[in-house]
Structure 1
Amino acid sequence: MRDLAETVDRAFAAALYAQDDAGLDTGASLLVADQGGWPGVGRELLARGEAYVRQGWERGWQPADVLRLVRRDLDERHLRITGDLIAAEARRYARLPARWGAAEVWWTGDEEYADRLAQRERADRFTLATAFLEVLRLLIRLPSIEPVGPLPGDPADALAEHAHIEPRMLGRIRALLAKAEATNFPEEAEALSAKAQELMARHTVDEALLAASGKGPAQVPGACRIGVEPPYEEAKAVLLDAVATANRCRAVWNSGFEFSTVVGFESDLEAVELLYTSLLVQGTAAMTRAEAAQRSGGRKRTKTFRQSFLLAYASRLGHRLAETAEHTATEAPDNLPALVARDVAVTSRAEEMFPRTTTTRLRGATDHAGWEDGTAAADRAHMGGRQKPLPR
């Protein structure tokens, strides 16, 4: 056992801490040199990988964040291996935090993992050892980022109270947005999305009033991360910011790691996730239809068309969502103090998490037709119910 541990130590020293890839071959060769010891090597790699995964959690990362980074920098095999390590680490806990999303262990025992992995991947041991080392190298290089929730096993997580969107209402919202995404009729999509946003906004008001009266559970703002991935990540970040602001949350974009951190009360975070995902689906579908119309007119459209389309779509929806939020808040002036208190708590939490932020200069929209079509698509998808379109 000591020889195996020493071999793995030597492989790690060669492969994980070098600044280039030269040591990967050396490390992988050391791991597969003793063909009879492959099951033990797999068990040892799994155990050490679990420790590196836990180290990532302690630095503020969550499973979706790590998988997003692996997908960007490596490939599908590495993604599956990373999922295995996350599942192996997660099995230690009786309960996982919300949004943790770890897969289950699919192999029977850790001694069998290496052989089962080779069967699943249909790859030789050297290839698998190299892929494993590449995953571990990424994990140990994860920097510290702002934590957005408790770690697995944290006793405070079991005691925390969160006011989620009521299940029946959540089902209605999801059904409305699913229909809005499926229809090819803009007016129907608008009506369905507007109704979903209305349900979200009224739930926020009700929850704020309960908290102000002391009848609801004591709550504090939390946070979650939402992926903002290429292509057209700038336009997606603008759209997410608009949805977050309309739902009384704050969004901070990290372009380097392809996510935005959204700060707010739990039910509002749920609303942001649902609405942003739906509007992004609707916007992408509208962009595809607009491109087809452009091509049918004999005009070739490029990446600049799509970039301009989505920027216009996001910008326009920002105005529409802000208009809707203001309308809902002012329907009953007596509700305003409770909503203001909620806004102050969210702003304070966001400033505590991100005391220093910078402003990003977006790439301009250079395709006029793309901007016009994106604006029109946003008018069709707006959340404002019966409000008239804003002047262009």
Structure 2
Amino acid sequence: MTTIHHDPLAGTKYGRLIVNGRSDPRPGQVMPEASTVTSLRQRNRSLLLKQIILRQETTRAELAHLTGLSAASAANIVAELIDEGLVEERGNRSSQGGRPITVVGPRADRAITIGIDVGERGVAAEVFDLSMTRVDREFRGGQIEESPDLIAADIRAAIDALRDRNGDRWGDLIGIGLGLPGIVETDLVGTQTLYAQSLGWPALDVVDLCSAVDVPVFAENGAKLQARVEHWFGNARDCDHALVAMLGRGVGLGIITAGEVATGSRSAAGEWGHTTLMLDGEPCRCGNRGCVEAYLGADAIVHRWRDTGAQPSGSGWTALTSLIEAADAGDPAAADLTAHVIDELGAALGSLVNLFNPERVLIGGWVGGRLIEAYRDELEAAIVAHALPRPGSQFTLHPTHFAGDAVAAGAGLLPLEALIVSGWSTAG
């Protein structure tokens, strides 16, 4: 297996290429900043290709305007991308009194990526084309909490099933992205390790989760990937400062600041679910007490409802839906609990609004999506109430666009970003 990803330690927008868990040059050698080893032309090419994929359909003149390049430079780079088969012309737009303007877009059939949403109970693997349209999907697991070995087996089985159904396109696969439930740390020589303390897993080399494949493999925390895909194509698009919360069984956060998803020094930024909401509060799966996740994770919410004497059928989505329906029907215990949950979520997000001063706050994950669907106005009021008046007046609240597909779609972006930055081209 070949693993390639971009080193968040590099300190530049474009990162550093890591191959098979090792950076180039070899450990111990001094590596110049990416800006000195990446040609200006390659960076301009990356800017244009990203804009073409983001816009889906655009013109050479629009690309020159968006990137600040000259019209001639933009036209020359677009011609190169067309020659490589990554971009295609898609007819013309009418112009005001002049010649028709040629429209360009990504050549969707030129490459595919796989994005895999890895959870504690199984995986959802999705195939995307170059325009980030989903081509196929495969689920494995989903019933019980699984060990890392079983998760790795699920990943292999899902990839095998996708390969069997998409054999005619498999040669166009440029990489696999993994969205993982925990901290995905990249060390100084490029080795990636997953720390999923809340799941009780030992530290895992990412390579061990996705072995025996002959394409590059990339990994990142699932909440960061949700933020990434929302920033590219979703409700945080064209927004330089946003918070993208993910609430499911776990609780996570992606922070978009100055147009980039924040990583921190070792990619642990955004572990909001394990910040303290209540001193000496409820025990959390991470081993601490009073964490946001211990109150706002799915299991915590359902457990609190059962403590009132309620007996919801099922668990997870079914139980949460039953809680909201009971509150809407006037059940006092359910109404009181949902009010507490909204206020607690408002307090947790209000603190983040004070810290990061976002333009937008997005709430996603299957728990978050259900809450914002039912209580959007109440949530916004709670966030404002727990924030300072000025930053509390400067954000808008939104659901995420991608809902249940967010992590897989964000993971599918990882190989695509490498293609954009590093100038890979697919075979054929």
Range of TM-score over shorter length? under 0.3
Larger Rg: 1
* TM-score between both structures, scaled by the size of structure 2: 0.26
More strand by share: 2
* TM-score between both structures, scaled by the size of structure 1: 0.28
